[in-house]
Structure 1
Amino acid sequence: MLVLDRRQTAAALRPDAVLDAVGRALVAVAREEVSAPPRIAALTPTGLLGAMPGWVPGLGAAAKLVTVTADPGHPGRGFHRGLVALFDEHDGRALALVDGEPLTEVRTAAVATRGALALAVRPGLGRVAVIGTGAQARAQLALLAAVLPGARVTVAGRDPERARAAAALFPGARVAPGIEDAVRAADVVFCCTGATAPVVRREWLAPGTHVSSVGGSQGPELDAATVRDALLFAEWPGAAASPPPAGAHELQDLAPGRPLTLLGSVLDGTRPGRDGDTDALTVFKSTGHAALDVAAVRVAYEVAVEQGWGVRVDL
């Protein structure tokens, strides 16, 4: 089995390859080709330990163990740490063990970007606001810099110094004086926070705005009015049908018959996205899905083998 440390894992997660792989995984989810039970979690006094196994045809089987804990020194912030193991889908051999933290950050940024590229009105995304200054926001900025360097990016968060540090990851990005200012000026909003209460309000969103929301493990990032007015998209039906931590806080108790479109169905052309309505508000709510971990760890494994990275152990 190949073992990659944090630095090697991060280096092996090539943004363009992960973007392609998560797209493939999303389509497989929408076609019901994957096997991935809902995420389970053991709750602790400071957070949770979650388990996410999955299999995607052609990519393999993988399992992630992840801890989500609060940062006692910084209220409202937290940590996501873990491990991801990849297994051969044919004979069950353990192929790789990698650091789950950079893998989760990069695959989450990739799926949020996939959602934006599929649903945004403007080619190249136009004016982009990244809300948040933590690890996930930084991963989002780094991925955008790698795959969409021409976007016009604004960063906003509670701490101006941290916002400036995050903005440095995207050359030319500006720092907004506040979240409302950034959202009101955006065509696309990436919401990447550890929020326990909404940080984006409906009245700030202009017609035709797309929102990719990936945070809010402990509560909603988006207010109820935004969810009420938007066309809704997710990775899997359980984003609405399952309670947190498997499902999304924002998608609980949707009205009966309220459409929730799977992003993979948009990517493969089975379902429309905004269907030509340039004024529609669209929201992609990501909860994470084991198929995305399978996709990302497969990329990391193949790149590491190609480059000769990592340590081989007999397990």
Structure 2
Amino acid sequence: MNDILVLDGAATAAALAPHRLMSAVADALVAVARDHVSAPPRIAAFAPGGLLGAMPGYVPGLGLAAKLVSVFADPDRPGRSTHRGIVALFDSEDGRPLAVMDAEPITAWRTAAAATHSALALARPGPAVVVGTGAQARAQVSLLASLRPAEPVTVAGRDHAAARATAGLHPAGRAVDSIEAAVREATTVYCCTGATRPVLRRHWLAPGTHVSSVGGSHGPELDPETVRDAALFTEWPGAATTPPPSGAHELQGLPADRAVTLLGSVLSGDAPGRRSPDELTVFKSTGHAALDVAAAYVVHRTVTGGFTEDPLP
């Protein structure tokens, strides 16, 4: 067997070039929407303190990979969870294992990339707020800092010191004490929490707000009224049709005639996005193996010198 590249968390994170990641994640989302991806619904084994999920996937042009990720409550931070694991990348032509990477930065950054694509495609111009101060919130703020460093971002969370530290990752970041006040002023809300019950309320959201909700592994992050009133977008159909942990808590039991649009269809132009300035839009992310494949592709190509073109600006 040829040598397998093994990358720890720091090396994996360093190779996640933001613009290349955004491009690869967009390709993966479109491939999912067009049914070009081979990826079974996520399965999980449950332990007393959490779960171990398995997510294999193949995306044409990006590769073949599988993620094993544990989601456990963090005893040092009540109400929050840890996401740890590995991503294994294989040669899609002959099946050779090529690399093993730390899943934590891959999960955080590919999720942030999908959430950012939803905002770019669906949100109106205006203030953005990131709700949360954990690993996913830090990745979201860091990605926004790389892509649009001049556009201000507000960070709101229960721990103000953590909110200040997270806001400090963005050159135009600021922290506030009140989640409600920040959300009421926002045009785009990135909800990045380990919630077990809703942290956003419908009456906080102004007409035309866009919500990118990527948390809620252990319970709903959004209240039923927000889901009821919003145009809904997801990465894959199973977010609404399969039970947790593969499906979203918020999207269980939707009426049979309720439309849920795939974000990749919006990115490709195959489906419309926002239909009016006052429409409330929600992107509900559950994660998808195709996004892990996209991130692993970027990491491997970056480390091995597989990219010959300069990064996008």
- Does the alignment reach a TM-score above 0.5? yes
Q: Which residue of 2 aligns with 1:109?
A: 112
Q: Which residue of 1 aligns with 2:136?
A: 136
**Which deviations, in whole Å up to 9, do the C-alpha atoms of 1:134-192 show, x marking residues without a partner?**
01000000000000112221110001111111110011211122110110010100000
**Which deviations, in whole Å up to 9, do the C-alpha atoms of 1:231-257 show, x marking residues without a partner?**
000000000000000000000011121
Q: Is the 8 A contact 2:150 2:171 kept in 1?
A: no
Q: Which residue of 2 aligns with 1:313?
A: none
Q: Provide the secondary structure at the position in 2 that maps to 1:102.
A: helix
Q: Provide the secondary structure at the position in 1 that maps to 2:75.
A: coil
Matched, 1:25 2:24: no
Matched, 1:299 2:295: no
Q: Provide the secondary structure at the position in 2 that maps to 1:111.
A: helix
Q: How does 1:1-315 map to 2 (within 5 A)?
A: 1-122=4-125, 126-275=126-275, 277-306=276-305
C-alpha distance in 2 between matches for 1:206 and 1:152: 19
Query: How does the TM-score come out when normalised to structure 1?
Result: 0.95
C-alpha distance in 2 between matches for 1:72 and 1:151: 35
Equivalent pairs counted in the alignment come to 304
**Which deviations, in whole Å up to 9, do the C-alpha atoms of 1:254-304 show, x marking residues without a partner?**
1121000000000000000013x0100000000000000000000000000
C-alpha distance in 1 between matches for 2:28 and 2:95: 20
**Which deviations, in whole Å up to 9, do the C-alpha atoms of 1:197-256 show, x marking residues without a partner?**
000000000011100000000001110000000000000000000000000000001112
C-alpha distance in 2 between matches for 1:139 and 1:202: 26
Return 5+ residue gaps in structure 2 as ranges: 307-313
C-alpha distance in 2 between matches for 1:6 and 1:72: 21
C-alpha distance in 1 between matches for 2:304 and 2:8: 14
Letter in 2 for 1:193: T
C-alpha distance in 2 between matches for 1:74 and 1:150: 32
Q: Is the 8 A contact 2:149 2:172 kept in 1?
A: no
Alpha-carbon distance, 1:94 to partner: 0.9
Q: Which residue of 1 aligns with 2:309?
A: none
Q: Provide the secondary structure at the position in 2 that maps to 1:98.
A: strand
C-alpha distance in 2 between matches for 1:171 and 1:121: 22
Q: Provide the secondary structure at the position in 1 that maps to 2:220.
A: coil
C-alpha distance in 1 between matches for 2:162 and 2:101: 28
Q: Provide the secondary structure at the position in 2 that maps to 1:8.
A: helix
Q: Is the 8 A contact 2:239 2:286 kept in 1?
A: yes
Letter in 2 for 1:154: T
Q: Which residue of 2 aligns with 1:311?
A: none
Q: Provide the secondary structure at the position in 2 that maps to 1:66.
A: strand
Q: Provide the secondary structure at the position in 1 that maps to 2:44.
A: strand
Alpha-carbon distance, 1:88 to partner: 1.1
Q: Provide the secondary structure at the position in 1 that maps to 2:181.
A: helix
Alpha-carbon distance, 1:306 to partner: 1.4
C-alpha distance in 1 between matches for 2:133 and 2:62: 32
C-alpha distance in 1 between matches for 2:47 and 2:138: 27
Q: Which residue of 2 aligns with 1:310?
A: none
